[in-house]
Amino acid sequence: MAVILVFVNYLARPWPGCSLGVVIIKKRVRFLHTADLHLGSPLKSIGQASGRMGEILLDATFTAMERICDLAIKEQVNFMVISGDLYDREARSIKAGYFLREQFQRLAEHKIPVFIIAGNHDPLSEEADFISYPQNVHVFGGNETERREVLDEEGEIIAGIIGRSYRTRFETENIINTYAALCAPNDQVWNIALLHTALEPDRSNYLPCSARELAGVQGIDYWALGHTHTVQVVHRDPLIVYPGIPQGRAPDEPEPGGCLVVDLIPGAEGRVEFIPVSPIVWRIEEVRIDANSEELPENIDDLSGLMQRRAEELLTESSTRIRRSVLTGQEAPGRAGKNGPDDSAVEREERIRGYIVRWILRGRGDVHRKIADQKEEASEALLAAVRSLSGPAQSGEPPFIWSEAVKIMTGLPIPDLADLLKEDETFQELDRVVKDLRTEEGMKLVTGVLGGVWEEAEEAEEYNPVKMQYRKDDGPNSLASLIEEATQLAVEEIMKRRT
């Protein structure tokens, strides 16, 4: 009995901000987290697509947003947060404004509030007031950090949303302390903070800060980040999460994009679920010409046949539905929304409508002799051939494949480089040079000699059609890929001069 009385007295103790004897317990909440929609921004390199397929590609970001709102309604979320770059500054339009208002009005009819911060691609200074949003939408200002409260159907506060928008394209001030000031550590409601940042603490143009700083802010339960285009759980307690881009716009944004449905549960780990929504998926498909030593291609027709067979495999794969994936939390999926369970929503999955493919031909074979001096023309011929053979792509009926480009990185038949390195001093020296170039100092040297037509693309979303861009990380336009291609050319040239 004494133990029970002690326990009752503990529960009845006064909490900060509460009257004596009243216990406030956090309620379970569910919300949708998205960012970086770049609404209306066209997918890159689709200028030659036409007809119904061209319309599908141009409307891909709109379709992704519509799917996100469908999901919010079917999942019965308490609210939605959008962590920057809802628009793309070059693509902000009246059409996009009216589309958004229509989508937000659908959410209003289901009593779902929407909280938005502007990012570096849609800063408030470049905002064009084409239309006004419904009353369920709040766009945070850029002069100071704000806190907004979310009420449940009984009028009780269930969450506080904290955020600040970009005023201009670049925001170099660390503002994390302003978030901490709006969140008392003993708050008995969930605190969700919206931030558009690259999580770079030093010399960043995009709200410099570190994951450690965010994790150290007392009282924040969930940091809803934006800016990075890949889905990522940065930290688990508190949750610091990027939802990624809902619809990729270039080859370096491959795989299905989506959004997050988050359940914050008293006394348990938050459940973060990634749900794909992108109608179009970028793919970089590598086809090796020497995969089958008994059937090496001999001409352009043979090469296009290899690509076509892979295209047919992709179309078969696209007939399967894209699955959700739970990033954190172990609870079974039949979880309660604000109006009770909605098991039917768990079965809802979206299909890919089509792929945009960049083909890369690799490997070694005699066919390389026939195309080496005319790579550009060979690439154009292969691109035309694979497009003409795509079948469903002509009508745009899903699933389809739109071939964006063909890059030829084949070579002449030569001995294995590993064998050459064992005894040949020339190749041993080449290997040492290549290894030096792949170091940080080597990368700087390569950067210095690339010439004025090249520039480093620091941000995946920065695109300069006038320059030839490269990246320092891995990928189709990375320095590593350039060094690899140069190495193959050097090996071939050495072997050619010896014959």
What pLDDT is attached to residue 467?
54
3-state secondary structure the chain: CHHHHHHHHHHCCCCCCCCCCCCCCCCCEEEEEECCCCECCCCCCCCCCCHHHHHHHHCHHHHHHHHHHHHHHHCCCCEEEEECCCECCCCCCHHHHHHHHHHHHHHHHCCCCEEEECCCCCCHHHCCCCCCCCCCEEECCCCCCEEEEEECCCCCEEEEEEECCCCCCCECCCCHHHHHHCCCCCCCCEEEEEEECCCCCCCCCECCCCHHHHHCCCCCCEEEEECCCCCEEEEECCEEEECCCCCCCCCCCCCCCEEEEEEECCCCCCEEEEEECCCEEEEEEEEECCCCCCCCCCCHHHHHHHHHHHHHHHHHHCCCCCCCEEEECCCCCCCEECCEECHHHHCCCCCCCEEEEEEEEEEECCHHHHHHHHHHHHHHHHHHHHHHCCCHHHCCCCCEEEEEEEEEEEECCCCCHHHHHHHCHHHHHHHHHHHHHCCHHHHHHHHHHCCCCEEECCCCCCCCCCCEEEECCCCCCEHHHHHHHHHHHHHHHHHHHHC
pLDDT of 334 reads 42
| Average pLDDT along the chain, 499 residues, taken 10 residues at a time | 39 34 72 95 72 81 96 98 89 86 98 97 82 95 96 93 96 94 80 96 90 95 96 96 95 91 95 95 93 89 92 74 78 44 42 89 92 92 84 59 91 79 83 84 73 60 55 65 78 76
Model pLDDT, residue 275: 96
151 vs 136: CA distance, rounded Å: 12
The pLDDT score that the predictor gives to residue 451 is 63
Q: Is 359 exposed, middle or buried (0-12, 13-18, 19+ CB in 10 A)?
A: buried
Give the type of residue at 390.
S
148-153 CB contacts, 8 Å cutoff, 24+ apart: 148/115, 149/189, 150/29, 150/78, 150/79, 150/113, 152/27, 152/78, 152/338, 153/111, 153/338
pLDDT, tens digit (0-9, with 9 covering 90-100), for 265-284: 999 999 999 999 999 999 99
* pLDDT for position 285: 93
472: which residues sit within 8 A by CB, 6+ positions away?
A: 443, 456, 478, 479
Backbone angles phi and psi of 280, in degrees to 5 = -120, 140
d(C-alpha 235, C-alpha 1), whole Å: 42
Task: Specify whether the backbone of 131 is left (phi greater than 0), alpha (psi in -120 to 50) or beta.
Answer: beta
Q: In whole angstroms, give the CA distance from residue 487 to residue 463.
A: 27
pTM across the whole model: 0.81
Q: Which two structure tokens, joined as six digits, stand for 164?
A: 């600040």
Q: Find where tokens 């955020």 sit.
A: 163
CA dihedral 391, 397, 398, 399 (to 10 degrees): 0
pLDDT of residue 321: 58
Asked if 78 contacts 106 with a C-beta cutoff of 8 angstroms, the reply is no
pLDDT in tens, 98-154: 999 999 999 999 999 999 999 999 999 887 667 899 999 999 999 999 999 999 989
Query: Within 10 Å of residue 110's Cβ, how many Cβ atoms?
Result: 15
Q: Which pLDDT does position 13 carry in this prediction? A: 35
